[in-house]
Structure 1
Amino acid sequence: MFGGGGGGLDPRKMEQMMKQMGIDTEELDATEIVIRTPEKELVFSDADVTVINAQGQQTYQIVGEPETREAGSGSDAGEDTAIEDADIPADDIEIVAMRTGASEDDAREALEEADGDLATAVEKLEAEPK
């Protein structure tokens, strides 16, 4: 498309050519991207996202390695979905334990009762007498 080989094209020249054709690119500072299908969720935690705007149409390019989960197992699952121990991220347990001064076991239990909601778990633990 852009002449001989294309593999050795200077990224700055490529960007200039794209601008001349009316194509703008922008890096998006995304912390997490989730793609949901009926069967599974693809979760990109450390991905590079580029927004490409060409002729008024935006295209998102995601570069990274996703973690695959069963559909409905993420933190945005419905309220009726029970969260098992393995589904509560260790980081969430640590955050709740540090914020409240509770043990990790108590933090995990509070998160399970709160269906993984950090704020609700913290409120529950802070309301309990120590």
Structure 2
Amino acid sequence: MFPGMGGGRGGMNPKKMQGMMKQLGIEMSEINNAEQVIIKTTDGEIIIDNPAVSIMRAQGVDTYQINGDVRTVPKELVIPDEDVRLVCEQTGASEEDAKKALEDNNGDLAEAILALSS
């Protein structure tokens, strides 16, 4: 607890806290009309529905705090037809086998060709 910040059972006094933050050069704001936040990663997406988004600006740096209903969606591997044809041409494999080899090797052409060549 900070001395003189309203301590006790009620926690910090929000007005005093705002004043203290302002003195330190920290600004707080909210995005009131956010519908969804999507964070894209190499493994997929983290989706936050019905988000409450707060922004804290301190020393020229914005920090976002997001609360809401979180769900994850794994990345779907898309294998281009050109890649399947290339693996077929290089290995003599069927399209089905070439596509499976590409899926098993996360779309890596060289690995798929090596897997079917051995």
Query: Shorter-chain TM-score: which interval?
Result: 0.5 to 0.7
Supply the RMSD in Å over aligned alpha carbons. 2.6
Does the CA contact (< 8 Å) of 1:43 and 1:68 recur in 2?
yes
Structure exhibiting the larger radius of gyration computed from Cα positions:
2
What is the CA distance between 1:8 and its match in structure 2? Answer: 0.7
Q: State the SS of the aligned residue for 1:12.
A: helix
Paired residues, number = 75
Q: CA separation in 2, counterparts of 1:19 and 1:48?
A: 22
> With structure 1 as the length reference, what TM-score do the two structures score?
0.49
User: In proportion to residue count, which structure has more strand?
Assistant: 2
Q: State the SS of the aligned residue for 1:9.
A: coil
Select which of 11, 21, 24 maps to 1:21. Answer: 24
Residue identity (%)? 40
Aligned to 2:49: 45
Q: 1:6 to 1:68 in 2, by over 3 A?
A: farther
Structure 1 residue 56 corresponds to structure 2 residue 60: yes
Which runs of no fewer than 5 residues in structure 2 stay unpaired?
81-118
Q: CA separation in 1, counterparts of 2:20 and 2:69?
A: 29
> How do 1:90-109 residues align onto structure 2 when only pairs under 5 Å count?
none
